[in-house]
Amino acid sequence: MIRLTRLNGDEFVVNADLIRFVERRPDTYITLTTSERVIVRETLEEVVRRSLAWARAVRMTASVDAPFTRDSPSAAEPDSAPDRLPA
């Protein structure tokens, strides 16, 4: 979700996955996949920046939350760790 501001100053959040496209007309128009159109105070570049940051955060969260399997190279087994460093 990204936080945006309507022209009247009201803040709202929108699911960035629902953004179909963003236009600069001189105001910034956001068209959603539902065909709803919203006009916001933020610039086109700012809407894109926030959307990309949100998408990156979602991907990072998904990779952190991904379960490790026994065969996963990232999953270290406790008894596979050396008791001491090699000399």
Mean pLDDT of successive 10-residue segments in the chain (87 residues)?
97 96 96 97 97 91 63 50 53
pLDDT of the residue at 59:
86
pTM, two decimals, is 0.68
Reduced to 3 states (helix: H, G, I; strand: E, B; else coil), residue 48 is: helix
Q: How many CA atoms lie within 13 A of 26 on its CB side?
A: 0
> Per the domain annotation, does 31 fall within a domain?
yes
Task: Indicate whether 70 belongs to any domain.
Answer: no
Domain enclosing residue 57, as ranges = 2-63
Does residue 86 belong to any structural domain of this protein?
no
Give the chain's domain count. Answer: 1
In a domain, 75, yes or no: no
The verdict on residue 68 lying in a domain is: no
Cα 24 off chain centre by: 22
Residue 24 belongs to some domain of the structure: yes
Number of C-beta neighbours around residue 2 at 10 A:
20
Residue 82 is assigned to a structural domain of this protein: no
